[in-house]
Structure 1
Amino acid sequence: MARILFSTMGSLGDLYPYIAVAKHLLQRGHGAVIVTNGEHRASVERAGVEFVETAPIANLQGDYQAAAERMLAARGGEEFLVRELVMPQLRETHQVMMEAARGVDLLVSQTFGMTASIVAEQRGLPWVATLLAPISFMSTYDPPLIPAAAWLFGFRRLGPKFHRAAFARARKQVFTWEAPLHALRRELGVSALAGPALFDGQYSPYLNLALFDRVLAAPQPDWPAGTEITGSPVYDGEADPAQLADFRGFLAEGEAPLVFALGSLAVLAAGSFWEHAVSAAVRLGRRAVLLTGSTQLGALPAGIRAFPYLPYSEVFPHAAAVVHQGGIGTLARAMRSGRPQVIVPVAFDQPDNARRTSALGVAPVIPMRRLTTAKLVVALECVLSTARYEQAATRLAADLEAVDGAARAADRLIAMLA
C-alpha cells in the first residue's frame, strides 16, 4: 500500500481538506501523514492521521491574533503573510519535509507548502499540487476579485490580453517577496520554478487537483495541463459532546436561528462583527447562534447563544440563514446546507469566493469593512423574505449532494501510483 505525505500551512481552512482526503486514504488501507504548523497537532491526531510538526505560526510572531489582524488588513496582508510567515519557515520546513519523506511514495502540496516540490526533486518522488480556491489559478480568462486590487475586477470584460499585462506587475512583485525561496532552490541545486510560487510556480507537471466545487469555477484555457476539479473535501473536526447537546437543546426550543460564523482565521479579527450580529438578530426578532471561537462576548439577549465551536454540518442545515466570511471551507459547508446565506468577506480568497457564490443566487455580499447593523438587517430581511434565495440554496445543495471531493481526490492520488 502507498504512503502519501501532505504539506500544508495556515488556518484550519488550509488543514481540514487534507484531513478529509487523508481519512479516505486510511480507510482504503494506505498510509497518510500531514506536515503542518505545530498548533494543528491535536486536530490532525484526533482525526487518526499521522502528524509531523513544522514551526508553529504563533511562535513566529508571539501573538497569533496580532498576526491574524495583520494578515487580514486591507493593505499589505498578503505581503506580510508571505514575507513574515511563510519565508522564515522555509529552511526548517525543508529539513522536516526531507526527513518525513523517507519511505513516502507521493507528495501532495498546498500553495504555501512551497518546499514540497524541492523535496520531491531531491528524493526523486512524484508530487501533486492542490489548489483550494479558484483565485489560486489567477486565470486571465476568469479573472478573480483580488482584495488588494479590487478596482481591477471592473475591467474583467477586457479579456485575457489585458489581464496578462495587469497580472505581470503582480507577478514581479510577488517574486520579490519569495526571494528566500528562489535562493534556497539555487543553493540546493534544484530546478528553478516556472514563475512565482504563488502563480504558475506552484503547479505540478504530474497532476494538479482543484479542491473546490465546479459550481464556483469551470476549467479555463490557461489552467495548467493535468488539472482536475474534485469538489470540496469537507471535514468538520470533532465536537464537544456537551456543547453539541446544548446546541440541540437550544434548537428544540424555538424557530430556526440565524447562524453567524467566521471560520478559524477571520474570527481572530472580528472587530465589531459580533456586535452587529447581535443587534441585527434583536432588530429582526430572531433567535441566533454565534460561533465565536475564543472570543468571550459576555451576557447576551434572550434567544441568542454563543458557542466557541460546533461542526458546521451540525449547525448550518438548521439555520434560517447563515452569515459567514466566505472562506472556502466554511463556504463548502454553507453551500451544502441548503440554507440562504449572507457573506461578509474579509481578505484573501474570500471576496472572490463571495462574488462567485452571489452569482449562484444564494447570497448577497457585504464586505466586512463596510458592514453595519443596518446593512446586515437589510440583507437578512432580503434572504429571509425572498423565496428565490431559499429555492436557489435548496437546488445548490441538491446539486452538491453527490459530490464527495475527498473521495475523488483520494481516487486520483491512488491512481497516480497505480
Structure 2
Amino acid sequence: MMNKQPINVARHLESGTSKNILLVTTGSYGDVFPFLAIAQELQIRGHRIILATNEIYRHIVEPEGIEFHAIRPDGYIDIEQVGQFIQLLSNSQQPLDYGISYLTMPHLRATYSDLVEVAHKADLLVTHPLACAATLVAEKMGIKRISTVLSPISFLSAYDSPYGSTTPSSDYEKALTLVAKDNFYRQLRWQTRFWSAPVRQLRAELDLQPSADLLFEGQHSSELVLALFSQVLATPQPDWPIQTQVTGFPFFTSRHRKGLPKELEDFLQQGPPPIVFTLGSLMVWAPGNFYFEGAIAAQQLGYRCVLLMGPGADSVTKEQLPPGACAIGYADHEAIFPQAAVIVHHGGVGTTAQALRAGRPMLVIPHAFDQPDNAARLVRKGVARMLERQHGSASQIAAELKPLLLDKSYAAKAAEVSRIVQAENGVVNACDAIENHLLLRSI
C-alpha cells in the first residue's frame, strides 16, 4: 500500500549484508542535499556508498566522508552558458525545455559512460528524476533500481492540483476537472515529445527494448518510488505509482557545519527578527530586482531584512541598500530561517522544505520549474502567500508581506505544519524503505 511505513525488517540485518549502493543525482543544491543526507545515513548503517553527481559538488560530498564519482555535465549550468540561461529565465516561459534540451540531453552518452565506470560495483541504484542515463545503466546491467521524486508536480497527477480557488462540489464537476487536467498533461506530453529523442536513440544502440518515456512515467522504478517530500505538500493519489512511499524531507546537515557568518550574527542580535529574502542556489543567478525591491518593501513596513544574495553580495555596498538591510552571500537556511519574521523565497523544493521546518510564514515568488506548483501548495496549506514574479515591485511585495506579518493565523499554521515536518524524519524513513526493499528482494 502507498505511504504506509513497512515493518522495518532491515533493522535486523545480520553482519555481512551491507550493500554497494550508487546514488545518482543532478541539479541544484535542492537536488543534491537529499541524496547526500540519504548517503550519510546509509553509510552509518554499514553500506558502501558512492554518490555520483556533477563535479561542482565534489567539495561538498567528499568532506562528509562519502565516496564521490563525477558525472557529466561538470555543472548543472555550464559556466559558458550562465548568461544565456539567466536571460532565458528573465524573458522566456520555457526554462525547463532549455534545461533538458540544452543542458542535460547533450551529455546523455557521456553521463552513461561515466556511470558504467562504477555501476558494476553496485547492488542498487537510487536515481534522481532526471537521471535518464542511470536508468539505462540499470536496465543494461540488470541492477535493481529505486527511483525518487523530489516535488509533487513530477507525478503529473490529474487528481492532485493546488490550483483553482474552489473545490469541485459535485461528482460531475469532479469528473470534468479530472478530464481537463488529464487533457492538459496529454498536451504537455505531446508538446515535449522530442525531449526524450536522445534517450530513445541510445536505448536502441544499447539493444534495450522500447519503454515508457523516462522523463515522464518511465522515470518511476517498477519496484519502489520514494517521494522525498512531506505529506504536508501532497499525499498519494490514485494515479501515482502503486509502489510509492512518501518519506518526508531528507534534511542534510553537514558534519562540518559552521555557524552563521559573524556579520550576520551581529546583525541578528541588534534588533527584532528580520524578513529573510533568498533565491536558493540556482535562481540567485537570475535575481532581477528581487533583492533591491524586497529591501525597499521591508523598509516601507518598518522591518529589517537579510538578503541572501549569493555572488551578488560581493558587489553591493551598504550605501546601495536602505537602512536595516544586511546583504550576505550565503547562510545556512537551517540556522537563519527560524530567526526570520517572514521568509521570502522562490519556491524551490529544498528551500521550501527548510522554510516549512522552520515554521515561519512565507511569501513565495516562483520563477520556473516546480516552483509555481510548490508555491500554490503552500498557499493552500495556509502558511504562505504567492506573488507572480512580474509583479514583484516593492509596493506589491509590501502589500503581500503585510498580512503575513499582522495576521497571526499564518504564524500559527506555519508552526503547526513545522511540527508535522519535523516529526516525519524523512531521511530515516527513506533509508528504512531502501533497506527493507533490499532485504525483501534477497529473501
> What interval of TM-score do these two structures reach, taking the shorter chain for normalisation?
over 0.9
Alignment of 1:162-173 (within 5 A): 162-173=180-191
- Can you list the C-alpha shifts for 1:177-221, whole angstroms capped at 9, x where unaligned? 210111101110113222x22210111111001111111111111
Which residue of 379, 385, 388 maps to 2:406?
385
Is the 1:262–1:325 Cα contact (8 Å) retained in structure 2?
yes
Alignment of 1:130-279 (within 5 A): 130-143=148-161, 158-194=176-212, 196-235=213-252, 241=258, 243-279=260-296
> Cα–Cα, structure 1 residues 58 and 159, in superposed 2: closer, same or farther, change >3 Å?
closer
Is the 1:239–1:309 Cα contact (8 Å) retained in structure 2?
no
* Residue 21 (str. 1) matches residue 27 (str. 2): no
Residue identity matched to 1:257? P
Structure 1 partner of 2:142: 124
Residue identity matched to 2:25? T
- Aligned-pair CA distance for 1:239: 7.9
Structure 2 partner of 1:152: none
Is the 1:143–1:156 Cα contact (8 Å) retained in structure 2?
no
Structure 2 partner of 1:297: 316
Alpha-carbon separation, structure 2, partners of 1:398 and 1:106: 33
Structure 2 partner of 1:400: 421
- Can you list the C-alpha shifts for 1:300-349, whole angstroms capped at 9, x where unaligned? 33321111111111000011111111100100010111111111111110
Alpha-carbon separation, structure 2, partners of 1:48 and 1:217: 33
Which residue of 17, 20, 26 maps to 1:3?
20
> Cα–Cα, structure 1 residues 59 and 351, in superposed 2: closer, same or farther, change >3 Å?
closer
Structure 2 partner of 1:309: 330
Alpha-carbon separation, structure 1, partners of 2:301 and 2:424: 35
* SS of equivalent residue, structure 2 residue 32: helix
Alpha-carbon separation, structure 2, partners of 1:59 and 1:368: 22
Q: TM-score under structure 1 normalisation?
A: 0.93
- Aligned-pair CA distance for 1:48: 2.3
Alpha-carbon separation, structure 2, partners of 1:72 and 1:10: 19
Residue identity matched to 1:297? V
Structure 1 partner of 2:15: none
Is the 1:145–1:351 Cα contact (8 Å) retained in structure 2?
no
Is the 2:162–2:376 Cα contact (8 Å) retained in structure 1?
no
> Cα–Cα, structure 1 residues 110 and 255, in superposed 2: closer, same or farther, change >3 Å?
same
Alpha-carbon separation, structure 2, partners of 1:108 and 1:287: 43
Between Structure 1 and Structure 2, how many residues are aligned? 409
* Structure 2: 5+ residue stretches without partners: 1-17, 165-172
Alpha-carbon separation, structure 2, partners of 1:177 and 1:106: 27
- Aligned-pair CA distance for 1:131: 0.5
Question: Computing the radius of gyration over CA atoms, which structure comes out larger, 1 or 2?
Answer: 2
Alpha-carbon separation, structure 2, partners of 1:323 and 1:19: 26
- Aligned-pair CA distance for 1:67: 2.4
Q: TM-score under structure 2 normalisation?
A: 0.88
Identity in percent: 36
Alpha-carbon separation, structure 2, partners of 1:242 and 1:161: 51
